[in-house]
């Protein structure tokens, strides 16, 4: 049984038991797989492919591909979910891209609406609840729970994995910012940079393999390189105030 409730809906394609089973006036929808898009009724231009893909969705212009992908997607629209259980719990969220096994699997809850987040990688952003963020790499931004538009960027395997309430952070490199939890406005670049110390400090810059801050709660500090660095080379041998435009 498929498209059993259809009345005036047109240009719909349904392949599989109970696909688009509630569709009445929706147009241009495609559903392939058991119960795929089964709750869709009046919205247009959705694609659901996979076992229970987009099962409760009532939004529009969503592309959901993968078994259980978007399983609790409700009124969210204009999302791309690709992978097994990608965006499983995402609810009402809009304008997101989740690609990978369990990518953004527990992103948001049905009562939260922050969106515009890109998550790519197996279990990347799994527990993420932060809008307008980017996570690329397996396990990156896994626990970001800042309940708002966080604007975090994490690129690399497990980058920013333990960041919880922090926002406006940049993590680039494998396992960067491993210990950062609630720190904000930090820029961390380099494989395993801020791996053991920095946690709650704000507005820090940490650059280089294994580089880390002087303390877990330090603010407004710049660290270049790890303890193996013996020479600092610079074209000028003096450091001037910020007004110096050199």
pLDDT digits (tens, 9 = 90+) for 29-52: 999 999 999 999 999 999 999 999
Query: Rg of the Cα trace of the chain?
Result: 22
Nearest residue to 116 via CA among 156, 149, 158, 69: 149
Q: Which two three-digit tokens encode residue 120?
A: 């790519």
Which of left, alpha, beta for 11 (phi over 0: left; psi -120 to 50: alpha)? left
Q: Which two three-digit tokens encode residue 57?
A: 């969705």
**Res 237: pLDDT:** 75
> How confident is the model over 6-23, as pLDDT tens digits?
999 999 999 999 999 999
> How confident is the model over 101-137, as pLDDT tens digits?
999 988 865 556 678 999 999 999 988 888 899 999 9
Nearest residue to 30 via CA among 40, 100, 92, 67: 40
CB 132 within 8 A of CB 114: yes
Q: Which two three-digit tokens encode residue 212?
A: 């880390």
More confident residue, 147 or 233: 233
CB proximity list for 220: less than 8 A, separation 6 or greater: 202, 203, 204
Nearest residue to 70 via CA among 96, 49, 89: 89
Average pLDDT score over residue span 169-176: 98
CB proximity list for 15: less than 8 A, separation 6 or greater: 2, 31, 32, 33
pTM for the predicted model, two decimal places: 0.92
Q: Which residue has the tokens 């009445």?
A: 24
Going from the C-alpha of 225 to that of each of 105, 148, 198, 231, the distances in angstroms are 35, 33, 14, 10
**Res 242: pLDDT:** 63
Highest mean pLDDT among 73-82, 85-94, 209-218: 209-218
Nearest residue to 94 via CA among 117, 111, 77, 108: 77
CB 119 within 8 A of CB 105: no
Average pLDDT score over residue span 154-172: 96
Q: What is the dihedral angle through the alpha carbons of 117, 123, 127, 131, rounded to the nearest 10 degrees?
A: -10
């Amino acid at each position: 049984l498929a498209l059993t409730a259809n009345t005036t809906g047109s240009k719909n394609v349904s392949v599989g038991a109970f696909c688009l089973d509630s569709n009445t006036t929706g147009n241009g929808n495609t559903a392939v797989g058991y119960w795929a898009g089964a709750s869709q009724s009046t919205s247009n231009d959705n694609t659901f492919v996979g076992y229970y893909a987009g099962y409760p969705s009532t939004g529009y212009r969503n592309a959901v591909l993968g078994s259980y992908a978007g399983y609790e997607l409700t009124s969210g629209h204009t999302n791309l979910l690709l992978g097994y259980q990608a965006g499983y719990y995402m609810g009402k969220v809009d304008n997101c891209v989740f690609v990978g096994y369990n990518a953004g699997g527990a992103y948001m809850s049905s009562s939260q609406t922050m969106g515009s987040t890109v998550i790519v990688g197996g279990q990347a952003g799994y527990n993420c609840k932060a809008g307008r963020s980017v996570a690329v790499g397996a396990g990156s931004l896994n626990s970001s729970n800042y309940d708002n538009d966080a604007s975090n960027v994490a690129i690399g395997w497990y980058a920013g994995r333990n960041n919880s309430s922090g926002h406006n952070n940049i993590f680039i490199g494998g396992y960067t910012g491993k210990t950062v939890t609630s720190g904000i406005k930090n820029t961390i670049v380099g494989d395993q940079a801020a791996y053991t110390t920095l946690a709650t400090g704000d507005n820090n810059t940490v650059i280089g393999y294994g580089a880390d801050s002087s303390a877990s709660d330090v603010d407004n500090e710049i660290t270049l390189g790890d303890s193996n660095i013996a020479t600092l080379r610079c074209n000028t041998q003096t450091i001037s105030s910020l007004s110096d435009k050199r």
